[in-house]
Amino acid sequence: MFETHDPRFGTYVLFNAPLKKLAQGFDWAEGPVWMGDANCLLFSDIPNNRIMRWSPDLGLSVYRAPSNFSNGHTRDRQGRLVSCEHGGRRVTRTEWDGTVTVLADGYMGKPLNSPNDVVVKSDGSIWFTDPHYGIMTNYEGYKSAQELPCNVYRIDPDGRLEAVLTDFNCPNGLCFSPDEQRLYVADTGRVFHKDAQHIRVFDMGSGRPKGGAVFHVIGAGCADGIRVDDEGNVWSSAGDGVHCIAPDGTLLGKILVPEIVSNICFGGRGKQMLFITATTSLYAISLNRIGAQWP
Ligand code: MG
């Protein structure tokens, strides 16, 4: 179940903690977000146009359908659900009363492609990736013409939208280091460019991303969703499971998963459980790590 590449990894995993399949029957599970106050996980089943909810006491149910082919989710600093929608080609926020507010749906007068994944910084700014996966076919959205490059955007707390990274093939998962001095962004554009199956790292010292060197090349499949633990290790989805990568880019080890992993998030009591969306199933495994993501 584990593949150890560095002794540190042996202290991060629990060798008597099983990889549990919590639910199955999805077509492409994605976008997990832990809602600790409701003791549940929300995640997308993109091709089936629904957001699912899994809770340890109640099991599986549908949270929202149709979901506008939602993909990645996170929560803002007020705990509200922030979602990427392929179908709506937009990023939305679900308010406390259940109404949905559009945060971004176009740039320079053109519609976004299909927002994929999203993260919120402690200053309240919302950062999301906008590859074209959701408009390439009718499988995960509505086949449509692409009018914008595949950029990374930042939504200011005042609502202004800014393209902050414009040199990606297909930006996908993204996360900040625990001290927010780094921004990691995965590029999954290998279908279109042979080199693009890596995670890049940007220096956030100035408040805007600088640099962008390749941080780690994923050896199996792609880095789709990524998260960091509280010591700054990067946990990445991959074709053969979940990879753990040290802050210097060294592969420390792998959690082997029997399906292609799309995304991950920390949650559960103490944020020590890693939830894994993997093709048709939802998995979870307890780790000796604590997720650094907000909340
Ligand atoms: Mg993704």
- Ligand 1 centroid to residue 170 C-alpha, Å: 10
- Ligand 1 centroid to residue 45 C-alpha, Å: 12
- Ligand 1 centroid to residue 223 C-alpha, Å: 9
Q: Quick count: other Cβ atoms within 10 Å of Cβ 96?
A: 9
Whole-number Å distance between alpha carbons of 236 and 109: 34
- Ligand 1 centroid to residue 130 C-alpha, Å: 10
- Ligand 1 centroid to residue 118 C-alpha, Å: 9
Q: Are 268 and 39 in contact (CB under 8 A)?
A: no
Residues by chain with Cβ below 5 Å of ion ligand 1: 116-117, 172, 224
- Ligand 1 centroid to residue 237 C-alpha, Å: 9
Q: What is the pLDDT of residue 194?
A: 67
Q: What is the pLDDT of residue 190?
A: 66
- Ligand 1 centroid to residue 84 C-alpha, Å: 10
Distance in angstroms between the alpha carbons of the first and the last residue of the chain: 28
Fold exhibited by the domain 2-286: Neuraminidase (2.120.10)
- Which residue numbers in the chain have pLDDT < 50? none
- Ligand 1 centroid to residue 264 C-alpha, Å: 10
Q: Which residues, in sequence order, are bridge partners of residue 34? A: 41
- Ligand 1 centroid to residue 225 C-alpha, Å: 5
Whole-number Å distance between alpha carbons of 235 and 245: 6
What are 126's two structure tokens? 């919302």
Q: Which helix (H) or strand (E) holds 64?
A: strand 59-64
- Ligand 1 centroid to residue 234 C-alpha, Å: 16
pTM score over 0.95: yes
Q: Quick count: other Cβ atoms within 10 Å of Cβ 150?
A: 24
Collapsing DSSP to helix, strand or coil, 57 comes out as: coil
Burial of 73 (0-12, 13-18, 19+ CB in 10 A): buried
- Ligand 1 centroid to residue 26 C-alpha, Å: 16
The Cα-based distances of 29 to 156, 262, 264, 282 in angstroms read: 29, 7, 10, 7
- Ligand 1 centroid to residue 241 C-alpha, Å: 15
Q: What is the pLDDT of residue 295?
A: 73
**Domain spans in the chain, listed from the N-terminal domain onward:** 2-286
- Ligand 1 centroid to residue 30 C-alpha, Å: 7
Q: Are 91 and 104 in contact (CB under 8 A)?
A: yes
Collapsing DSSP to helix, strand or coil, 19 comes out as: coil
- Ligand 1 centroid to residue 86 C-alpha, Å: 11
Q: What is the pLDDT of residue 191?
A: 65
- Ligand 1 centroid to residue 1 C-alpha, Å: 24
Determine the residue type at 159. G
Q: What is the pLDDT of residue 221?
A: 86
